[in-house]
Structure 1
């Protein structure tokens, strides 16, 4: 009899938990839809933050102060996006151990970096990554190449892509150009992007700023997000 009561109790608790979870999903969806409607009413472009390639295999070779500065600034923008209810997407490279899905230079020179299942392919531990955030695996420089990024942005009605990460002259530049070619506005957060080659980074930024993208600072984008939140009507 006691065993039967325990089973009945467990079933009842499971039902309660399931219903609570379903209610939470419905409430979150309702809030998101309301947020989208309000933004449309105010004529506000929806933004999405994409953080590219801040993985251990890359940052381990950087000057520690430089890497720390990049991570701290990026985390500040991540927090601002979350507080604004806007999407955050993490993009990182990852390749098979045999390099069969890697790009030509890696295969020809046997460059073994960002290998799946290793610490090197994972995001840096100090980043404000959240399990609820979307994480995209890419195989080439562009975050759009054979990934679901374009679909996710269209589904979420994003009109402006904000980019953080590395390297300015390669993966950031490719993502910015590919976003622009898809009629998305692009913001490059100057103190949240960086490169191992300063000259190539400078030339890339000079080319993109005012044409492909607009260059801003972390403080500027955070202020913009705060002012947009303040403009939303109270519940």
Structure 2
């Protein structure tokens, strides 16, 4: 079965050295050793010939796609966050995309909503998604549930995800154990 490893929202505004977004992500990414774990999973995906895609939250420079009344995204424009074409929406340098990797830009929580992900998966015969990134509570949960409801096989890599706290992460992984298989970068097989 064709597979894709999705590395989601590992962008500078959320996890970079000078991240401007919620501060808890950077701390949890470091504490959970997320960069090393994602790199390990990436090596396995490459060795197995799986596709790799980077999902990035971002808005046009004029924020035309940003819902100003959203509790989650409403302050993005005011704070200059998640502006496409800026340092903030680039993938953190340690996980930089490689030639041939897919770029999926989203304007909402799920990697499916309003993006090129569905046509990309269909055109390449991909039926299994491996999910990683920040936040377990938002993009990972939303994407896993959307993928499940679209009849994809879903694998969430526990040690390749982080939330704002360990408690939020553990709650999310427990909730995801029904619509997805849970694995780690150590035991995953692509």
TM over 0.5: yes
- Note if contact 2:28-2:162 (Cα within 8 Å) is conserved in structure 1: no
- Partner Cα distance (1:65, 1:147) in 2: 26
| Superposition deviation, residue 144 in structure 1 | 0.3
Q: What's the secondary structure of 1:142's corresponding residue?
A: coil
Query: Higher strand proportion, which one?
Result: 2
Tell me which residue corresponds to 1:145: 113
Aligned residues: 178
Tell me which residue corresponds to 2:149: 181
| Superposition deviation, residue 151 in structure 1 | 1.3
| 1:104-151 C-alpha deviation (Å, 9 max, x unpaired) | 233367343111221111000011520221111110000000111111
TM-score, structure 1 length as denominator? 0.70
Tell me which residue corresponds to 1:96: 60
- Partner Cα distance (2:31, 2:57) in 1: 18
The equivalences for 1:197-208 within 5 A come to 197-208=165-176
Candidates 198, 201, 212, aligned match of 2:179: 212
TM-score, structure 2 length as denominator? 0.85
The CA RMSD over aligned residues, in Å, is 2.0
Matched, 1:55 2:19: no
The equivalences for 1:56-75 within 5 A come to 56-60=12-16, 61=23, 62-63=26-27, 66=30, 69-75=33-39
Q: What's the secondary structure of 2:33's corresponding residue?
A: helix
Structure 1 regions of 5+ residues with no counterpart? 1-44, 226-235
Structure 2 regions of 5+ residues with no counterpart? 17-22
Tell me which residue corresponds to 2:2: 46
Matched, 1:86 2:50: yes
Q: Which has the higher contact order (CA 8 A, sep 6+)?
A: 2
Instruction: Please identify the structure whose Cα radius of gyration is greater.
Output: 1
- Note if contact 1:48-1:161 (Cα within 8 Å) is conserved in structure 2: yes
The alpha-carbon distance between structure 1 residues 76 and 117, as it changes in their structure 2 partners (threshold 3 A), is same
The alpha-carbon distance between structure 1 residues 56 and 68, as it changes in their structure 2 partners (threshold 3 A), is farther
